[in-house]
A and B are shown apart, each in its own frame.
Chain A
Amino acid sequence: MDFSSATAQRRLVIVGFLIVPLTLLAVFSLYPFFQLIWFSLTDWNGLSPDKTFVGLDNYHRILIEDRALLRPLINSGYYFIGSLMQLALATYFAVILSRGLPASNMFRMILFLPFVLNSVAVSIIFRDFLQLDGGLDALMTLVGLGDYTRQWVQDPDIVKWSLVFASIWRYLGFMLLITYGALQAVPVDQYEAARIEGASEWQQFRFITFPTIAPILGLQIILATVGSLEVFDVPFLITGGANGTKTFIMATLEEAFEFRRVGLAAAMSIILLSIVMVVIVLQRLLFQRGAVT
């Protein structure tokens, strides 16, 4: 091959730059993915050198015989509702911060800070904060709301919302940052034109801000949906899945590493992946219809 021509050199550069990421993708994503599919068709226990091909037995068991395995998916509903609240809050704060209020940089940093904190540290803080007579109870007593304290983590009716609250606190900053970035793309003179035309602050949001950032909000909803199906760290570290707070990922890990049913867990992972794919396709179809051209 002649490397002296410009075309050959360009090809060499392209191949040279692609080979590393493609190798990493193949080794750490594609290969494990196909492995996972293979495991889901076996009865492997994760340790034994032998695995027996069982066909679609694992899928049959999850979807038909033992539907209790799917029950933790219901918990994702709480987190999904939480993430919608989180998106509304993030948009609200982003709009306020983008108005250039005094100290808005400081507030932006404060709101973003939880996202960069270590997940384990945050969960431990919340575990103590939500304990009986913990930080939240102390705070409520201090401001005269002592009669309204609850068993935030122990009461099965409340604990899910407590965890959702911790999750919102942790991920609000990330959503805020994306929405804030989208808001920066709206030209100031559009707001000025609207002000002259008589639009109130709310009308400016409704007719100018919202349509402009709608595609980004759509993307955030996709991320939130996927995120709520895959919740793991916050409930795992705060309750360990007690009081009905187990999520689907936690159940999958439990099957794989506690009950030594890696084949079944692999099938659960593939089912979760399929649900996520369906959600993404549905939402893309919905949002593309309303997207700004």
Chain B
Amino acid sequence: MSGGLQITNASKSFGALTVLNDISLSVDPGGFLVLLGESGCGKSTLLRMISGLEDKHEGTIEIAGRDVTHLDPKDRNIAMVFQSYALYPHMSVFENIAFGMKIRRHAKADIKAEVGRVADILKLTDYLHRKPGQLSGGQRQRVAIGRAMVRKPDLFLFDEPLSNLDAKLRAEMRTEIKRIHQVLGATIAYVTHDQVEAMTLADKIVLLNAGRIEQLGTPEDLYMHPDTLFAARFIGSPQINAIEVTVHVSDDTLTAYVGDIALALPRNAARGIVIHGQTAILGVRPENLTLSDTGPIVTRGHGVGLCEPMGSETSVVLDFAGAALRMRVPGLVKLSQDSTQSVSWDMSGCHLFDPETGAHL
């Protein structure tokens, strides 16, 4: 499996604190894996374990079909881009990018040619003689990526590379990273807490929660078929509506009751057996709700809580039996705080979760 990554039963503890618990995953050569999760979930630790900067862990790590578990970082043939860029401030852009090749005693002509090639891809040619202190955040980020690219590694590791950039630059660099991935065909493991980065970049997302894999799958899998309430809540903005309901089962049909309001559910809202009268959490994405009083399921008389115009759409929060009901309404809509609204529900993509464990029913 040249160029891929395979992690088997990896665990890591700092003293009594277990930060990663029995992690197993694999990435195909040329794949883009995103390690996603909240702060402190162990995603950066996992990346550092792959890099070899964090040793003394359980389990095995294979890169490009080679067991690297006990190898030094320099012998793993990996390259890493740090959140802080970790550029050497006293070296020029050229020297920063060339550093790895210089250390490995490549010929000067080779170094020059290779740095030139990388600088060309990253549009850094005009800045090669500048020091990092004279560059903008985005340019520094590109230098850090260049330093990784020049090595031609088996695996690229990115540790929250865009989190120090402003929103506009972040979107540009995201596109840039995607482009580089396509140009190089490289295998990438990428840590982020930003679900937009994860959704746009990844072939495969590993969602980590408290040191365990919450869900592993394609971005579509995580969005359309979340295994747990945590996964459903983590992916998607505005957040999925999670409404406590009582499920009634009759003749193989499911109906969710919120007080005396009945919401008919498709059978695939639950994956397994649901007991009649069971309490559950109903997950409905904001985009599956529309402001309308026509449709198969309509609820009426919702007070307006919040109305945030975002430009192309408006984020609306309505009151639903005392709970917040988040919606995305196309275009710029202004709703009076005194008005009441009707909502049409599209239940085709809804999910039922266990209120205790958060698992999909």
- A residues adjacent to B (C-beta < 8 A): 187, 189-190, 192-199, 203, 207-208, 211-212, 292-293
Bound together, the chains give a CA A196 to CA B151 distance in angstroms of: 10
- B residues adjacent to A (C-beta < 8 A): 51-53, 72-74, 76, 78-80, 82, 84, 86-91, 99-100, 103-104, 131, 133, 147, 151
Whether A292 lies near B89 (C-beta < 8 A) is: yes
Partner of A207, one of B53, B80, B84, B88: B88
Whether B82 lies near A208 (C-beta < 8 A) is: no
Chain A binding surface SS class? helix
Whether B100 lies near A197 (C-beta < 8 A) is: yes
Whether A196 lies near B88 (C-beta < 8 A) is: no
A198 with B104, Cβ < 8 A, contacts A207-B99, A293-B133 known: yes
Chain A residues whose CB sits within 8 angstroms of the CB of B131 once the complex forms: 293
A190 with B103, Cβ < 8 A, contacts A196-B80, A197-B74, A198-B74 known: no
Bound together, the chains give a CA A190 to CA B73 distance in angstroms of: 14
Bound together, the chains give a CA A198 to CA B89 distance in angstroms of: 19
Whether A195 lies near B73 (C-beta < 8 A) is: yes
Residue of A nearest to B159 (CB): A189
Chain A residues whose CB sits within 8 angstroms of the CB of B74 once the complex forms: 195-199
If A194-B103, A196-B74, A197-B151 are given as contacts, then 7 extra A-B residue pairs at C-beta distance below 8 Å, sorted by A number, are A190-B87, A195-B72, A195-B74, A197-B74, A203-B103, A207-B99, A212-B89
A192 with B89, Cβ < 8 A, contacts A197-B100, A199-B103 known: no
Partner of A196, one of B78, B84, B133: B78
Whether A198 lies near B100 (C-beta < 8 A) is: yes
Bound together, the chains give a CA A203 to CA B104 distance in angstroms of: 11
Chain B residues whose CB sits within 8 angstroms of the CB of A190 once the complex forms: 86-88
Residue of B nearest to A188 (CB): B86
Whether B88 lies near A208 (C-beta < 8 A) is: yes
* Count of A-B contacts judged by CB separation below 8 Å: 62
Bound together, the chains give a CA A212 to CA B76 distance in angstroms of: 28
Bound together, the chains give a CA A212 to CA B52 distance in angstroms of: 25
Bound together, the chains give a CA A187 to CA B73 distance in angstroms of: 18
Whether B103 lies near A193 (C-beta < 8 A) is: no
Bound together, the chains give a CA A193 to CA B84 distance in angstroms of: 11
Please give me the 6 A-B residue pairs with the lowest Cβ-Cβ distance, nearest first: A197-B100, A198-B74, A189-B86, A193-B86, A211-B90, A196-B73
Bound together, the chains give a CA A293 to CA B91 distance in angstroms of: 10
Chain A residues whose CB sits within 8 angstroms of the CB of B86 once the complex forms: 187, 189-190, 192-193
Question: Which of A193, A292, A293 has most B Cβ within 10 Å?
Answer: A193
Partner of A193, one of B52, B82, B133: B82
CB distance from B289 to the nearest CB of A (A): 44
Q: 16 pairs across A/B with beta carbons < 8 Å?
A: A187-B84, A190-B87, A192-B51, A192-B53, A192-B80, A193-B80, A193-B147, A194-B99, A194-B103, A197-B74, A197-B103, A197-B151, A198-B74, A211-B91, A293-B131, A293-B133
Chain B residues whose CB sits within 8 angstroms of the CB of A211 once the complex forms: 88, 90-91
A212 with B84, Cβ < 8 A, contacts A196-B51, A196-B73, A207-B99 known: no
Residue of B nearest to A292 (CB): B90
Residue of B nearest to A189 (CB): B86
Residue of A nearest to B78 (CB): A196
Bound together, the chains give a CA A189 to CA B144 distance in angstroms of: 12
Bound together, the chains give a CA A208 to CA B86 distance in angstroms of: 11
Question: Which of A187, A195, A197, A211 has most B Cβ within 10 Å?
Answer: A197
Residue of A nearest to B99 (CB): A197
CB distance from B121 to the nearest CB of A (A): 19
CB distance from B292 to the nearest CB of A (A): 52
Bound together, the chains give a CA A195 to CA B100 distance in angstroms of: 10
CB distance from B104 to the nearest CB of A (A): 6
Chain B residues whose CB sits within 8 angstroms of the CB of A208 once the complex forms: 88
CB distance from A124 to the nearest CB of B (A): 45
Bound together, the chains give a CA A190 to CA B89 distance in angstroms of: 10
A196 with B90, Cβ < 8 A, contacts A187-B84, A207-B99, A293-B131 known: no
CB distance from A188 to the nearest CB of B (A): 9
Whether B82 lies near A192 (C-beta < 8 A) is: yes
Bound together, the chains give a CA A194 to CA B100 distance in angstroms of: 8
Chain A residues whose CB sits within 8 angstroms of the CB of B133 once the complex forms: 293
Bound together, the chains give a CA A193 to CA B53 distance in angstroms of: 10
Residue of A nearest to B153 (CB): A196
Chain B residues whose CB sits within 8 angstroms of the CB of A199 once the complex forms: 74, 99, 103
CB distance from A197 to the nearest CB of B (A): 4
Chain B residues whose CB sits within 8 angstroms of the CB of A292 once the complex forms: 89-90
Bound together, the chains give a CA A159 to CA B99 distance in angstroms of: 47
Whether A189 lies near B151 (C-beta < 8 A) is: no
CB distance from A13 to the nearest CB of B (A): 35
CB distance from B70 to the nearest CB of A (A): 15
A195 with B53, Cβ < 8 A, contacts A187-B84, A211-B90 known: yes
Chain A residues whose CB sits within 8 angstroms of the CB of B90 once the complex forms: 211-212, 292
Residue of B nearest to A291 (CB): B90
Bound together, the chains give a CA A46 to CA B36 distance in angstroms of: 80
Bound together, the chains give a CA A292 to CA B134 distance in angstroms of: 12
Bound together, the chains give a CA A92 to CA B82 distance in angstroms of: 28
Bound together, the chains give a CA A208 to CA B52 distance in angstroms of: 20
Residue of B nearest to A196 (CB): B73
Bound together, the chains give a CA A190 to CA B82 distance in angstroms of: 9
Bound together, the chains give a CA A187 to CA B132 distance in angstroms of: 15
Chain B residues whose CB sits within 8 angstroms of the CB of A212 once the complex forms: 89-90
Bound together, the chains give a CA A211 to CA B74 distance in angstroms of: 22
CB distance from B140 to the nearest CB of A (A): 13
CB distance from B347 to the nearest CB of A (A): 48
CB distance from B158 to the nearest CB of A (A): 13
Chain B residues whose CB sits within 8 angstroms of the CB of A192 once the complex forms: 51, 53, 73, 80, 82, 86
